[in-house]
C-alpha cells in the first residue's frame, strides 16, 4: 500500500507525540508542519528536517496531502477542520473536537458528503488495560452494573504561579472539562452506555495567573463535579458520579470503579505524568475474591516508548489508516466526539442554571 502523506497542524502535542508515532509508522509519511508564525516554522524545520509552511490555503489545496492532524488549541480546530474537509482531506482531530456540539454536527455533515475519514484522538481506547477492561464488561462478568464512579484528580495546574495561557480562558476551550472531561465521558460511553442527563457544578479555584509582569483573570473551570444518568445497552439506568480537578496537589490521579451484581472492576493510576505507564486493573468477584488483571498478549504494544503517550496514539493512527484505505467508518470518530461534547455542554449548562440538563 502506498504510504499516506500527512501534514501536522500544531507544534506542541503534534510535535512531541504525533510526530514520533508517525515517523515510526508503516502507513504514514509526514510531509509538512503548519504554523502561522514563520520564525516558529524555521525552528521546527531546523530541528526536525521536515518542511514547514505558514500558508494554510496552499496546504489544504495541495493534492499531494492525503490527511491532516489538527492538534491546535481547541478554539482554532473547527474552522481549520471545516476548511480541510471542504478540500477533501482526511482528518485526525485532538479533543475537544470543537467548542460546541453543533460545530461537530457540521463537520459530520461535510465529512459524510465527501466520504472522508475523521478520527478523534480518544487514545484511552487504545491503551491495553482499558481495552481489556472493556472485554471484561462485554463478557458480562460484573452482571448488572449498579454504580460507576470516576475520579480524575490531577495537580498539573495547582501552582498559582503557573503562567496564564489559553487553558485559562473558557472561550478558547480551556479548563478541566475539555482537558479531562472529554476523555472521561468517552470512556464512560465506551464502557457503560449513553448519557441521558447530567447535574453538574464547576468552579475556578485559582482565579488569576501571572501574565506579562501582571496578573490576568482565569475564566475556565479547574474543578468539575457531575452526576450522570447513563442508559446501558439494555436500556437500564445507571447512576454515575464524576469528579475532575486540575488543581489537586498530590491528587489520586485516575480512578474508575464499576460496581455490579456479580463483582466490581477497579482501574487506577497515580502516575500524573504518563497516561499509559502505571495503570492497574483489578477484578473482584461476588465472593469478594480479588484478581489483579494483566492485559491479553494481543493487546500489548509492539514497541514501548519513554513517553508512554506515543504508543496508544500510534495505535489510533493505525486505525485511522485502515479506515482511509478501506473506506470504512472510524471509531473513535466524530460520533464519539459528539457524544462526549454534548455532555461537556450539558455540564456547563447545568452549572449555570443550577438544574439538571437533559441530552436529546
Best CA proximity match to 15, nearest among 39, 42, 47: 47
Per-residue pLDDT, 276: 73
Please report, in tens digits, the pLDDT of each residue of the chain (360 residues total). 899 999 999 989 999 999 999 999 999 999 999 999 898 899 999 999 999 999 999 999 999 999 999 999 999 999 999 999 999 999 999 999 999 999 999 999 999 999 999 999 999 999 999 999 999 999 999 999 999 999 999 999 999 999 999 999 999 999 999 999 999 999 999 999 999 999 999 999 999 999 999 999 999 999 999 999 999 988 999 999 999 999 999 899 999 999 999 999 999 999 877 767 889 999 999 999 999 999 999 999 989 898 999 999 999 999 999 999 999 999 999 999 999 999 999 999 999 999 999 997
- Residue 1: the pLDDT is 81
124-301+340-358 has CATH 1.10.287.610 classification: no
So what's the pLDDT on residue 273? Answer: 77
The pLDDT, as a whole number, for residue 304 is 86
Distance CA 119, CA 37 (A): 27
* Whole-number pLDDT of residue 24: 97
- Report how far residue 318's alpha carbon sits from residue 39's, in angstroms, rounded to the nearest whole number: 32
**Domain assignments of the chain as residue spans, ordered by start:** 4-123+311-331, 124-301+340-358
pTM: 0.96
Q: What's residue 187's pLDDT?
A: 98
Q: What is the CATH number of domain 4-123+311-331?
A: 3.40.50.720
Amino acid at each position: 500500500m502506498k504510504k499516506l502523506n500527512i501534514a501536522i497542524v500544531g507544534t506542541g502535542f503534534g510535535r512531541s507525540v504525533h510526530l514520533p508515532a508517525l515517523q515510526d509508522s508503516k502507513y504514514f509519511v509526514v510531509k509538512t508542519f503548519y504554523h502561522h508564525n514563520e520564525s516558529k516554522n524555521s525552528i521546527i524545520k531546523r530541528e526536525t528536517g521536515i518542511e514547514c509552511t505558514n500558508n494554510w490555503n496552499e496546504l489544504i489545496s495541495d493534492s499531494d496531502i492525503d490527511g491532516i492532524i489538527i492538534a491546535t488549541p481547541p478554539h482554532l480546530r473547527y474552522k481549520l477542520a471545516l476548511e480541510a474537509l471542504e478540500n477533501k482531506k482526511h482528518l485526525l482531530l485532538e479533543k475537544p473536537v470543537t467548542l460546541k456540539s453543533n460545530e461537530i454536527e457540521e463537520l459530520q455533515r461535510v465529512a459524510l458528503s465527501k466520504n472522508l475519514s475523521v478520527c478523534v484522538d480518544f487514545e484511552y481506547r487504545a491503551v491495553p488495560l482499558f481495552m481489556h477492561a472493556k472485554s471484561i464488561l462485554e463478557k458480562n462478568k460484573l452482571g448488572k452494573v449498579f454504580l460507576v464512579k470516576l475520579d480524575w484528580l490531577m495537580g498539573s495546574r495547582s501552582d498559582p504561579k503557573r503562567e496564564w495561557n489559553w487553558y485559562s480562558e473558557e472561550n478558547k476551550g480551556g479548563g478541566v472539562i475539555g482537558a479531562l472531561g472529554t476523555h472521561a465521558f468517552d470512556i464512560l460511553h465506551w464502557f457503560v452506555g449513553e448519557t441521558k442527563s447530567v447535574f453538574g457544578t464547576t468552579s475556578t479555584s485559582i482565579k488569576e495567573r501571572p501574565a506579562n509582569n501582571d496578573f490576568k483573570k482565569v475564566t475556565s473551570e479547574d474543578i468539575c463535579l457531575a452526576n450522570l444518568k447513563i442508559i446501558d445497552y439494555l436500556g437500564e439506568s445507571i447512576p454515575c458520579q464524576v469528579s475532575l480537578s486540575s488543581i489537586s496537589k498530590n491528587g489520586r490521579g485516575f480512578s474508575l470503579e464499576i460496581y455490579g451484581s456479580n463483582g466490581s472492576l477497579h482501574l487506577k493510576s497515580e502516575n500524573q505524568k504518563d497516561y499509559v505507564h502505571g495503570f492497574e486493573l483489578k477484578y473482584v468477584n461476588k465472593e469478594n475474591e480479588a484478581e489483579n488483571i494483566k492485559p491479553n498478549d494481543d493487546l500489548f504494544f509492539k514497541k514501548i516508548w519513554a513517553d508512554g503517550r506515543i504508543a496508544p496514539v500510534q495505535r489510533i493512527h493505525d486505525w485511522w489508516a485502515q479506515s482511509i484505505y478501506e473506506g470504512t467508518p472510524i471509531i473513535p470518530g466524530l460520533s464519539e466526539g459528539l457524544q462526549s461534547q454534548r455532555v461537556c455542554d450539558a455540564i456547563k449548562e447545568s452549572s449555570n442554571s443550577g438544574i439538571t440538563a437533559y441530552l436529546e
